[in-house]
Amino acid sequence: MQQDAGAGAVDWTVSRDSSDFFEGSVFVVAEDGQQLGSATCDAPGDDAADRALAELGWTRLGDWTPDEYGRPAAVVTRSEVVVITLPPQSVPGQG
């Protein structure tokens, strides 16, 4: 897989799937093979895998494509974190 600096790869697998139960996993893996994170998926499909990635702080950059084992895989990047600084709050009766 072609990867950008700071990006990792992700794949997701299904452990069990039936009409009333689903258990899947998403794994984020660095280019060197080091696992950077994992999360469970609550449903099959791209949307559930994307939600699991978001919980880990990652965003998918492209389409899912099969890896060498047939599992869906994609290049990901760290999600942008926005920090908002709030003005100081005054407490009634103090100051």
Per-residue pLDDT at 6: 41
Give me the average pLDDT of each 10-residue run along the chain (95 residues).
41 53 81 86 86 89 86 85 74 70
Per-residue pLDDT at 32: 85
User: Residue 89 domain-assigned?
Assistant: no
User: Residue 59 domain-assigned?
Assistant: yes
Per-residue pLDDT at 7: 45
Domain that holds residue 32: 7-78
User: Residue 29 domain-assigned?
Assistant: yes
Total number of domains in the chain: 1
User: Residue 94 domain-assigned?
Assistant: no
User: Residue 62 domain-assigned?
Assistant: yes
User: Residue 32 domain-assigned?
Assistant: yes
How does DSSP classify residue 49? Answer: H
Q: Which residues contact 23 (CB under 8 A, 6 or more apart)?
A: 14, 15, 16, 17, 40, 41
Per-residue pLDDT at 29: 86
Closest CA to 44 of 61, 67, 26, 56: 26
User: Residue 90 domain-assigned?
Assistant: no
User: Residue 27 domain-assigned?
Assistant: yes
Per-residue pLDDT at 72: 85
Per-residue pLDDT at 10: 55
